[in-house]
């Protein structure tokens, strides 16, 4: 069997399929005689303790592997099992109806889930999923069902799931998960972005794939082309093993340029920096040759917890990132970008018809000044510890920029009043993600220090195609002339004012895009850590003067295909590096 999906994260994965879907545990209902009720209650309590212990272990493993923010997800699950109302209700039911623990737990779970699911508030609806999840864990313990875990497999597995949330992805163990395939999502959905930063090959947007695959089927995932083979013939397996070997050899080659500058043949230097989601990623970014951080997606510090991170917690996270790099290395911290496909249950946001066009990012922060100012204070305080720059996401109008800067000034005054140190020269930039902002870049540039182009959003808004919707993924075209002309407009506006432009959308790490962007005058390229070394290898083979001509020709072309073919023909180094 062969499928074609959306190539989401580079590399090849070969291994047995592991299906991530809810395991059904059939519940046996029985009456418990009066003299055995106490025993049944204590059986229930012991299994709850076991489940808590198991969750504590998972939480600790997650903390060690990915940091404390991600581990917090499991704290919410533990809280459910420590909630006297929930646990008490199960025991009451067991006693009142003289039924076994499994049956009582199932009944109470259904009541609680129905109650939470019917609430209008998003946070409460999310709790329903936690209760179901945790109750399933206890039921499996009660029923003595051995849970199949990825750790049971003697070789790394290929994970198949309907969807993986960004936090699911963050929990994947790179040693045990060779690759993953999901039925929904697009190339710039956040789980795809996380897969790239973790270096896990992935294909997304393959509808119904889960129903067709059996656990243990032998699978190949080609994260460059979007191909998935299930139980392929030996020739295909051989072919992919060879590809995998070559890929490993290329990676070993790239290692050698880890500490080299990002410089072209004719001596033109740019900055290659990384996109990260938490302080832990910064370590990986540095190991992969990043010269700094071009985008710290701070929302992951807020997600997967039950309440807002404190100012101190944020300050420590931002400072930790700065301290991972040398003092002068640029560290761009993006203010909170919640909304779209990134939810924050405890903010109690209403469901929206079009979340990507709705209440998100800077719109939300300007509406919640205290939330925003807490973050600004933490960023400013951290700026005393490194070359930290601040950047606002999703700016659509100059008024939003002014409003944000006004709040920043207020925070600076508060810090001054208390003599709290911060970098008074901290650079402040904006992301260009909305076509409206690109069109007035010449005006915006007068009030910022830099631009960073967010092509993931800029493409979806320019092409009016939701980045999460695989049905319109054919319109997700960063090389579309409309997008390239907007990018050109932004870079030109900045240059004319003596300012610089970077890019932190996924396009910045695309080998075919790099020669065009270089020729258009982009100064900073920010990408998943795994893309940095191949990008540097390519840059070292390019001549800046040639790419200027290439970019000028490309701007006259009509289709994305024509542009990509032209660039690949003109720049054979792209193919040499891709292999
Ligand atoms: C972008 O839109 O290109 C971007 C980098 O931001 P995010 O992917 O987090 O929306
Ligand atoms: Mg964006």
Residue 199 lies in a domain: yes
CA distances from 361 to 152, 166, 372, 467 (A): 41, 17, 10, 16
> Which atom belonging to ligand 1 lies closest to the Cα atom of 452?
5
Q: Give the model's pLDDT for residue 152.
A: 63
Q: How far is the CA of 315 from the centre of ligand 1 (A)?
A: 23
| Cα 212 from Cα 218, distance rounded (Å) | 13
Q: Give the model's pLDDT for residue 162.
A: 82
Residues recorded for the chain = 579
Average pLDDT, the chain: 90
> Which atom belonging to ligand 1 lies closest to the Cα atom of 297?
9
Give the closest residue (by CA) to ligand 1 atom 8.
Answer: 456
Q: What average pLDDT does range 121-129 have in this prediction?
A: 67
Q: How far is the CA of 467 from the centre of ligand 1 (A)?
A: 10
| Cα 189 from Cα 463, distance rounded (Å) | 16
**Residue 65 and residue 123 in one domain:** yes
What is the radius of gyration, based on Cα positions, of the chain?
A: 25
| Cα 212 from Cα 209, distance rounded (Å) | 5
Per-residue pLDDT band for 132 (boundaries 50, 70, 90) equals confident
> Which residues' Cβ are closer than 6 Å to ligand 1?
295, 297, 337, 433, 454-457, 504-505
**Residue 459 and residue 560 in one domain:** yes
Q: Give the model's pLDDT for residue 455.
A: 98
211 dihedral zone (left: phi>0; alpha: psi -120 to 50; beta) = alpha
| Cα 564 from Cα 554, distance rounded (Å) | 9
> Which atom belonging to ligand 1 lies closest to the Cα atom of 507?
3
Dmax over CA atoms of the chain, in Å, equals 88
Question: Is residue 92's pLDDT more than 90?
Answer: yes
Residue 253 lies in a domain: no
Q: What average pLDDT does range 91-113 have in this prediction?
A: 92
Q: Give the model's pLDDT for residue 76.
A: 79
Instruction: Identify which of 454, 487, 528 to mutate to test ligand 1's pocket (most ligand atoms within 8 A of the CB).
Output: 454
**Which H/E stretch holds residue 502?**
strand 500-503
Q: List the strands of the sheet with 157-161, edge to edge.
A: 2-4, 227-230, 218-222, 12-19, 157-161, 177-182, 202-204, 6-9
Q: Give the model's pLDDT for residue 144.
A: 74
Helix axes 529-539, 279-287, angle to 10 degrees: 30
**Residue 95 and residue 154 in one domain:** no
Closest CA to 363 of 314, 328, 400: 400
Instruction: Give residue for tokens 């808590």.
Output: 52
User: Among residues 141, 190, 280, 385, which one is catalytic?
Assistant: 190
Q: Give the model's pLDDT for residue 335.
A: 98
Instruction: Identify which of 393, 452, 502 to mutate to test ligand 1's pocket (most ligand atoms within 8 A of the CB).
Output: 393
**Residue 179 and residue 201 in one domain:** yes
Per-residue three-class SS string for 92-127: HHHHHHCECHHHHHHHHHHHHHHHHHCCCCHHHHHH
On whether the CB atoms of residues 52 and 116 are closer than 8 A, the answer is no
**Residue 295 and residue 372 in one domain:** yes
| Cα 172 from Cα 162, distance rounded (Å) | 15
CATH (domain of 66): 1.10.274.10
Instruction: Give residue for tokens 């062969």.
Output: 2
Give the closest residue (by CA) to ligand 1 atom 6.
Answer: 454
Q: Give the model's pLDDT for residue 167.
A: 55
Residue 242 lies in a domain: no
User: Among residues 77, 141, 280, 504, which one is catalytic?
Assistant: 504
**Residue 393 and residue 298 in one domain:** yes
On whether the CB atoms of residues 574 and 512 are closer than 8 A, the answer is yes
**Residue 470 and residue 493 in one domain:** yes
Strand 157-161 with 12-19, pairing: parallel
CATH (domain of 421): 3.20.20.60
Using a pLDDT cut of 90, give the percent of the chain over it. 66
> Which atom belonging to ligand 1 lies closest to the Cα atom of 506?
3
Q: How far is the CA of 553 from the centre of ligand 1 (A)?
A: 28
| Cα 179 from Cα 11, distance rounded (Å) | 9
CA 91 to centroid of chain Cα atoms:
40
Q: Give the model's pLDDT for residue 77.
A: 82
| Pair of tokens at residue 75 | 């704290």
Q: Give the model's pLDDT for residue 163.
A: 77
| Pair of tokens at residue 151 | 């750790």
Q: Give the model's pLDDT for residue 151.
A: 59
Q: What average pLDDT does range 345-353 have in this prediction?
A: 86
Q: How far is the CA of 93 from the centre of ligand 1 (A)?
A: 49
Q: pLDDT of 238-297, one tens digit each?
A: 999 999 999 889 989 999 999 999 999 999 999 999 999 989 889 989 999 999 999 999
Q: Give the model's pLDDT for residue 125.
A: 64
Residue 250 lies in a domain: no
**Residue 201 and residue 102 in one domain:** no
More confident residue, 549 or 214: 549
Residue 240 lies in a domain: no
Q: How far is the CA of 307 from the centre of ligand 1 (A)?
A: 24
**Residue 130 and residue 163 in one domain:** no
Q: pLDDT of 483-522, one tens digit each?
A: 999 999 999 999 999 999 999 999 999 999 999 999 999 9
More confident residue, 21 or 465: 465
Strand partners, 142: none
Q: Where are the beta strands (DSSP E) in 142-185?
A: 157-161, 177-182
Using a pLDDT cut of 70, give the percent of the chain over it. 94
| Cα 491 from Cα 485, distance rounded (Å) | 10
Count of beta carbons in the 10 Å neighbourhood of residue 22: 8
Instruction: Identify which of 299, 335, 356, 433 to mutate to test ligand 1's pocket (most ligand atoms within 8 A of the CB).
Output: 433
Give the closest residue (by CA) to ligand 1 atom 1.
Answer: 454
**Residue 451 and residue 372 in one domain:** yes
> Domain tally for the chain?
3
**Residue 529 and residue 487 in one domain:** yes
CATH (domain of 215): 3.50.30.10
DSSP state at residue 297: E
Residue 550's domain comprises 261-578
**Which H/E stretch holds residue 238?**
helix 234-255
Instruction: Identify which of 185, 457, 467, 490 to mutate to test ligand 1's pocket (most ligand atoms within 8 A of the CB).
Output: 457
Q: How far is the CA of 236 from the centre of ligand 2 (A)?
A: 38
> Which atom belonging to ligand 1 lies closest to the Cα atom of 433?
2
On whether the CB atoms of residues 364 and 379 are closer than 8 A, the answer is no
Q: Where are the beta strands (DSSP E) in 339-488?
A: 387-392, 428-432, 450-453
| Cα 574 from Cα 199, distance rounded (Å) | 20
Active site residue 2: no
Instruction: Identify which of 294, 342, 391, 431 to mutate to test ligand 1's pocket (most ligand atoms within 8 A of the CB).
Output: 431
Q: How far is the CA of 405 from the centre of ligand 2 (A)?
A: 20
Domain boundary among 98, 120, 143: 143
Residue 423 lies in a domain: yes
Q: Which ligand is nearest to the CA of 341?
A: 1
| Cα 207 from Cα 182, distance rounded (Å) | 8
Q: Which ligand is nearest to the CA of 295?
A: 1
Residue 322 lies in a domain: yes
**Residue 382 and residue 268 in one domain:** yes
Strand partners, 331: 293, 388
Question: Is residue 561's pLDDT more than 50?
Answer: yes
Question: Is residue 191's pLDDT more than 80?
Answer: no
Domain boundary among 112, 143, 174: 143
Q: Give the model's pLDDT for residue 230.
A: 94
Determine phi and psi for 276, rounding to 5 degrees: -135, 160
Question: Is residue 375's pLDDT more than 80?
Answer: yes
Active site residue 280: no
Q: What average pLDDT does range 401-428 have in this prediction?
A: 98
Per-residue pLDDT band for 23 (boundaries 50, 70, 90) equals very low
Determine phi and psi for 381, rounding to 5 degrees: -60, -40
CA 286 to centroid of chain Cα atoms:
18
Q: Determine whether 85 is exposed, middle or buried from the number of CB atoms within 10 Å of its CB (0-12, 13-18, 19+).
A: exposed
Per-residue pLDDT band for 69 (boundaries 50, 70, 90) equals low
| Cα 179 from Cα 198, distance rounded (Å) | 11
Q: Is the dihedral of CA 412, 417, 422, 423 positive or negative?
A: positive
Strand 271-276 with 524-527, pairing: parallel
| Cα 14 from Cα 32, distance rounded (Å) | 50
Q: How far is the CA of 297 from the centre of ligand 2 (A)?
A: 10
More confident residue, 285 or 350: 285
**Which H/E stretch holds residue 527?**
strand 524-527
> Which atom belonging to ligand 1 lies closest to the Cα atom of 505?
3
Q: pLDDT of 528-547, one tens digit each?
A: 998 999 999 999 999 999 99
Determine phi and psi for 361, rounding to 5 degrees: 50, -125
Q: Determine whether 292 is exposed, middle or buried from the number of CB atoms within 10 Å of its CB (0-12, 13-18, 19+).
A: buried
Q: How far is the CA of 422 from the centre of ligand 2 (A)?
A: 27
Q: What average pLDDT does range 144-150 have in this prediction?
A: 61
CA 314 to centroid of chain Cα atoms:
18
Residue 186 lies in a domain: yes
Give the closest residue (by CA) to ligand 1 atom 4.
Answer: 454
> Which atom belonging to ligand 1 lies closest to the Cα atom of 456?
3
Name the 3-class secondary structure at 473: helix
Domain boundary among 97, 113, 143: 143
């Amino acid at each position: 069997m062969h499928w074609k999906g959306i190539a989401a994260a580079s590399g090849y994965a070969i291994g047995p399929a592991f299906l991530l879907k809810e395991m059904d545990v059939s519940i046996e209902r029985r009456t418990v005689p009066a003299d055995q009720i106490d025993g049944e209650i204590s059986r229930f309590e012991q299994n709850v303790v076991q489940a808590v212990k198991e969750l504590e272990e998972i939480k600790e493993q997650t903390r060690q592997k990915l940091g404390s923010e991600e581990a917090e997800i499991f704290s919410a699950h533990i809280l459910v099992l420590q909630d006297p109302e929930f646990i008490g209700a199960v025991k009451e039911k067991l006693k009142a109806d003289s039924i076994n623990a499994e049956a009582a737990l199932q009944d109470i779970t259904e009541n609680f889930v129905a109650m939470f699911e019917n609430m209008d508030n998003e946070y409460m609806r999310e709790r329903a999923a936690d209760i179901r999840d945790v109750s399933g864990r206890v039921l499996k313990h009660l029923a003595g069902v051995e849970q199949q875990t990825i750790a049971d497999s003697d070789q790394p597995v290929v994970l198949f799931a309907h969807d993986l949330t960004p936090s699911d992805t963050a929990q994947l163990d790179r040693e045990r998960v060779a690759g993953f395939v999901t039925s929904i999502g697009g190339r710039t959905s956040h789980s795809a972005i996380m897969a790239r930063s973790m270096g896990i090959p992935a294909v997304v947007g393959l509808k119904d794939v889960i129903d067709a695959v059996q656990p243990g089927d032998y699978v190949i995932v080609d994260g460059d082309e979007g191909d998935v083979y299930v139980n392929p013939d030996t020739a295909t397996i051989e072919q992919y093993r060879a590809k995998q070997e070559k890929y490993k050899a290329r990676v070993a080659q790239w290692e050698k340029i880890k500490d080299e500058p990002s410089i072209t043949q004719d001596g033109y230097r740019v900055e290659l920096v990384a996109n990260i989601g938490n302080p832990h990623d910064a370590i990986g970014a540095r190991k992969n040759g990043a010269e700094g951080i071009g985008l710290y997606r701070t929302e992951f510090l807020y997600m997967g917890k039950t309440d807002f991170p404190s100012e101190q917690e944020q300050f420590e996270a931002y400072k930790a990132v700065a301290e991972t790099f040398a003092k002068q290395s640029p560290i761009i911290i993006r203010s909170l970008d919640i909304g779209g496909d990134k939810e924050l249950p405890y903010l109690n946001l209403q469901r929206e018809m079009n979340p990507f066009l709705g209440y998100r990012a800077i719109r939300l922060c300007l509406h919640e000044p205290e939330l925003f100012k807490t973050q600004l204070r933490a960023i400013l305080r951290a700026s005393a510890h490194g070359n930290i720059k601040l950047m606002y996401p999703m700016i659509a109008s100059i008024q939003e920029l002014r409003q944000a800067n006004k709040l920043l000034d207020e925070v600076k005054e508060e810090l001054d009043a208390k003599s709290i140190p911060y970098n008074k020269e901290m650079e402040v930039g904006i992301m260009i993600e909305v076509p409206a902002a690109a069109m007035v870049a010449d005006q915006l540039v007068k009030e910022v220090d830099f631009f960073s182009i967010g092509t993931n959003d800029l493409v979806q808004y320019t092409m009016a195609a939701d980045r999460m919707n695989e049905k319109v993924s054919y319109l997700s075209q960063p090389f579309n002339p409309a997008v390239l002309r907007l990018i050109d407009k932004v870079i030109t506006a900045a240059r004319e004012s003596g300012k610089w432009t970077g890019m932190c959308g996924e396009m910045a790490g695309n080998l075919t895009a790099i020669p065009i962007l270089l020729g258009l005058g982009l100064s900073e390229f920010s990408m998943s850590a795994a893309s940095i070394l191949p990008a540097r290898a390519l840059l070292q083979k390019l001549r800046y003067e040639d790419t200027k001509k290439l970019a000028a020709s490309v701007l006259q072309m009509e289709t994305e295909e024509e542009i990509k073919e032209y660039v690949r023909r003109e720049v054979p180094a792209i193919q040499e590096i891709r292999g």
